Amino acid sequence: MIGRIVEVADDRRHLFMHRGFMVVQDTELERKELGQIPLDDIAALTANAHGLSYTNNLLVSLAERGAPFVLSAANHNAVGMLLPIEGNLKQFRRIEAQIAGSQPTHKRLWASVARAKLE
């Protein structure tokens, strides 16, 4: 996986999945294909356009690969996110393991964070 963060910022675009690729298509007139990106290369997808449409199959395929889908408002700030369930479970287990750490480990890690912030 390359780990591309893909941002779609142009209006009048339609996104869909075809044979393992995310296809970007112009929605005007002849629906011209603008490009394809392998789904396995996408680490995250950001929707930053108003006239954007996408298929459920695309979102499911991205979620199965662990890629979040970020929605942006008119002011270009993120307002929502579709997160894969598996990724949240992994994150939950990681947080649980951090909580279960010993007090000396917590103090050492906190000192490391404070030192990095001061630098």
Neighbouring residues of 108: CB distance < 8 A, sequence distance ≥ 6: none
pTM: 0.69
- Three-state helix/strand/coil letters over 61-117: HHHHCCCCEEEECCCCCEEEEECCHHHHHHHHHHHHHHHCCCHHHHHHHHHHHHHHH
**Architecture in CATH for domain 1-83:** Ribosomal Protein L15; Chain: K; domain 2 (3.100)
Q: DSSP label at 12?
A: S
In this prediction, residue 88 has a pLDDT band, given cuts at 50, 70 and 90, of: low
pLDDT tens for 28-85 read 878 899 999 999 999 999 999 888 999 999 999 999 998 999 999 888 889 999 988 7
| Confidence (pLDDT) at 87 | 64
Which comes out higher in pLDDT, residue 95 or 1? 95
Judged against a pLDDT cut of 60, whether residue 1 lies above it is answered with no
